[in-house]
Amino acid sequence: MTQEQITKILEDAARVQDIKSSIRGQFPNVQWPEAYLDALWVGNGAETLVESHSGVVIVQGDTKRVCNFVTDQYKLVPHEVVMHYLMEECTKNWTQWGAPVFEANLYDDGAKAYLAARFPEMTMDKKAMRIGKDVVEPWVGFKNSYDSQLIFSGTGGGKVLRCSNGMMGTKTLMHFRKKHRKDLFMEDMVARLSTAMSTIEQEHEMWKTWAKIQIEKAQAEEILEALPISEKQTEKILALPETGTGLTLESLFNSGKPVSAWTMNSVLTQWLTHEVKDSSGRREREEEFAFVLARNFEHLKK
């Protein structure tokens, strides 16, 4: 290894440490873990080095554990670095949406992270993105993990504000993934995120068509069967009163009247937000719901 290469490695490491310190200072209530790669040794006395493999070690407070075993092609990307790039992109290149609000949610003792930005100023009167009486708040985010149970990914879409704590809309505009390999570069991921963000306002026009799509009972049953939910959960969804109207999908369909795609979307959104308690599991379902609903609604439009 040349001196130039050694110098670059040291400079990169110093920059990462600066970023981690900055992000931790801005989010003092988040329990950011330390994560690093450590050599693997095997044998009764752990005397044999396993070449080309490492262990991903997480240190959280007084707890230290190995959460993953990886090859030399693995690239560890600290949660703080992901948040840094997200914040930089949103504050520098998306000022037309107003000041973003950033959220950092860590799971499994820090092994997994969901890092997001939302734009509340886009819900105000002059900027508001509306679908009927509903207001949509744009959001974007990244998922990252140290245990390889989550592939690095970017997501974005709209949050539907219909009750005091908001409801996440099941319309996801984009979703891309990248394995934690040496060719994972945050600059590329942010560029992809930015490109997708630029379509949100255009997609807003498409969301409006959902309010015009009428769904018959048989069509709704087919859509519900395609969702990753049980029969019991389907019954709960059909009997769930919609926030704002108090009407249920079951009562609307039994009256013989079709239901708009947006109303069905809203009820499903409400169920996800208030009935699915596990935050990590909820976000996974949001993406699955988004795919199923978008595919079926587009088909019904034709």
List, for residues 76-106, the tens digit of each pLDDT value: 889 999 999 999 988 888 888 889 999 999 9
Structural domain spans, the chain? 3-71, 79-202, 211-301
At residue 5, the pLDDT reads 57
Confidence label for 47 from pLDDT (cuts 50, 70 and 90): low
Q: DSSP characters for the chain?
A: --HHHHHHHHHHHHHHHHHHHHHHHH-TTS-PPEEEEEEEEETTTT-EEEEEEEEEEEEETTEEEEEEEEETTB----HHHHHHHHHHHHHHH-GGG---EEEEEEETTTTEEEEEEE-GGGGSTTT-EEETTEEEEEEEEEEEESSSSS-EEEEEEEEEE-STT-EEEEEEEEEEEE-SBTT--HHHHHHHHHHHHTTHHHHHHHHHHHTT-EE-HHHHHHHHHHSS--HHHHHHHHTPPPTTT---HHHHHHTT--EEHHHHHHHHHHHHHHH---HHHHHHHHHHHHHHHHHHHHHHH-
State how far the Cα of 49 lies from the Cα of 53, in Å rounded to an integer.
9
Confidence label for 154 from pLDDT (cuts 50, 70 and 90): confident
| Joined tokens for residue 78 | 């600290």
At residue 222, the pLDDT reads 92
Question: What backbone torsions phi and psi does residue 232 show, to the nearest 5 degrees?
Answer: -65, -40
Question: What backbone torsions phi and psi does residue 15 show, to the nearest 5 degrees?
Answer: -65, -40
Confidence label for 193 from pLDDT (cuts 50, 70 and 90): confident
4-17 pLDDT tens trace: 655 565 567 788 89
